[in-house]
Chains A and B, each alone.
Chain A
Amino acid sequence: MLSPANDPAGVRGEPLVSLEDVGVLRNGRWLVRGVDFSVSRGEIVTLIGPNGSGKSTSAKAAIGVLKPDEGRVERKPGLKVGYVPQKLSIDWTLPLTVRRLMTLTGPLPERDMHAALEAAGIAHMLGAEVQHLSGGEFQRALMARAIARKPDLLVLDEPVQGVDFAGEIALYDLIKSIRNLSGCGILLISHDLHVVMAETDTVICLNGHVCCRGTPEAVSRSPEYVRLFGSRAAQTLAVYSHHHDHTHLPDGRVRHADGSVTDHCRPDDGHHAHAPHEHPHDHDHDHDHDHAHDAHAHDGQHAHDHAHEHAHSRSGEGRHA
């Protein structure tokens, strides 16, 4: 999925950050395990998944805020990260204007500061205290701060929370233009998929481990899929919200659909009804779409082995189509 064929900028090289079989253990419980993905220059990777599925944990492991308890995280030496955390509350006793927020982690040329605030659409808020901003304005300010420092890797944890729908689209446009203009890699965490889809290079679905991954961009070229993603609601979600076939038990072990219990959640241990696979979005669309849909929707019974095989066999050539 990192093949140059679906590289919009054409500058994608070695990964900025890559995770290999990463697991994070906290209080005897694996928050995530067996996570591997990478983000390259100019690439947008989106992590999705239900609450508690380890999206933020994986992102924090990627940028070194959390040390993985197993597996490896490799970052390009001297990697400059811009980070918008999921939760950020600033005590009102701390006097902080938007201007001061911009230089929080490092000095900044005045011109870059203004350009970033302009891009985020809050240039007029420069002198405002951050405690007086609305949720959406604050989110934009955080985004402006992260991009102003011209990072190699931008990590956005639920960047559109508290933003209304129009603002949401504007923010995703902003994310797209940041990628296109600066060529930085973007690791995006999101639970609302519909808008993200069009610009994301790789979607990684997490549920304690990598459930599946796909490249919605190649798919979006097909008129049927554009219609699907464009109509944004139920159908789009149906593509990515599959039934998880296993339950994470309170003690950190995992009960699988076949009733067996293992102490970790490896996708390739044979317990999972679906082996790790790419969502076959990027194959040729010369076959019946309803049929392919079954494969995406994961109807829970996983009675569509043949659809999977089909997808696998085609995905290789589909990427370069």
Chain B
Amino acid sequence: MLDDFFVRAILAGVGLALTTGPLGCFIIWRRMAYFGDTIAHSALLGVALSLLFEVNLTLAVFAVAALVSVLLLFLQKRQALSADALLGILSHATLAIGLVMVAFMSWVRIDLIAFLFGDILAVSTTDIALIWGGGLFVLAAIAWLWRPLLAATVNAELAEAEGLKPERARLFFMLLMAVVIAIAMKIVGIMLITSLLIIPAAAARRFSVTPEIMAVLASLIGAAAVVGGLFGSLTYDTPSGPSIVVAALILFILSLLPRRHRTVMQGQGS
């Protein structure tokens, strides 16, 4: 069964979507969408470095993404520029440096489009193992960090005052983002990774009453988007990565449709 490229693509995509669900929830709760984009763009610099030094691609991408996250944390603390401007600078600077470096390396011929938009139909069994192994690791770490991360999302000082470690949780969260981006790059590509983080989580919002439910729903909606997008790309012969994003968008729009009015339970008082 794993011989079939389509089955491999679905397995890889679903594995990734299950991982990005909870992570994506934090991205939108903490208003870090642009941050996610910046880390994703820095992945191209990782690609260029991996080619230059002939090291493992995933490892190089993770290293650069992690470095950029830590650099961002550091620069934000210095408060020299607004976080927004810093993200804008780092996002496009890393992308541009990556592109320039690739252009200089005349001895390698690489398919830039595959890195920018992903090539899920080309995933190998090794890739699937990496996605599921990495994904399970990320999910376990998120579960472990859940309470401090959530409390810090509500208010970092409150979390700190009541004995949690919000700073540490934040650092770990950024490293987990770097891991996800490193393993997601092959599937949806650098330009579209953030959409797989944000859109399923946004679609899950209206059906959730607790953060935990939203995280699980985001995973499921992401998985549905992967399956739907891949079948769509097969049927209409469209590029697979963008098709997945379009499928996620359709699910998000469906989530916005008015539902039968349901009164919110507030007990007898009101």
Contact = CB atoms under 8 A, between A and B. Distances in A.
B269 interface: yes
Interface string A52-65: 00000000100111
A83 B266 contact: no
Contacts of B211: 94-96, 100
Interface residues of A, number: 32
A140 interface: no
Given A94-B29, A104-B150, A106-B147, A127 B267 contact: yes
Contact of B270 (A81, A91, A105, A124): A124
Interface in A16-37: 27
A95 B217 CA distance: 12
A88 interface: yes
Given A93-B205, A94-B29, A95-B214, A127 B266 contact: yes
Interface stretch (B154-162, B184-192, B226-234): B154-162
Contacts, number: 88
Interface string A118-157: 0000001111110010000000000000000100000100
B264 A83 contact: no
Interface residues of B, number: 34
Nearest to A90: B154
B265 interface: yes
B261 to A, nearest CB: 15
Interface string A80-107: 1111010010110111110011001110
A88 to B, nearest CB: 5
Nearest to B153: A94
Contacts of B270: 124
B266 A85 contact: no
Interface in A38-87: 60, 63-65, 80-83, 85
B154 A95 contact: no
B238 interface: no
Contact of A81 (B28, B161, B266, B269): B161
Summarize A's interface: helix, strand, loop or mixed: loop
Contacts of A128: 264, 266
B157 A93 contact: no
A125 B162 contact: no
A126 B28 CA distance: 25
Interface in A241-274: none
A149 B267 contact: no
B55 interface: no
Given A91-B29, A125-B266, A132-B264, A63 B161 contact: yes
B126 interface: no
22 contacts: A27-B79, A63-B161, A64-B160, A64-B161, A80-B163, A82-B162, A83-B157, A83-B158, A88-B154, A88-B155, A91-B31, A93-B29, A95-B208, A95-B214, A97-B210, A124-B266, A125-B267, A125-B269, A127-B267, A129-B209, A129-B264, A155-B161
Interface of B: 28-31, 79, 147, 150-151, 153-155, 157-164, 202, 205, 208-211, 213-214, 264-270
8 nearest A-B residue pairs (beta carbon): A124-B269, A83-B161, A105-B162, A127-B265, A124-B267, A95-B208, A94-B29, A63-B161
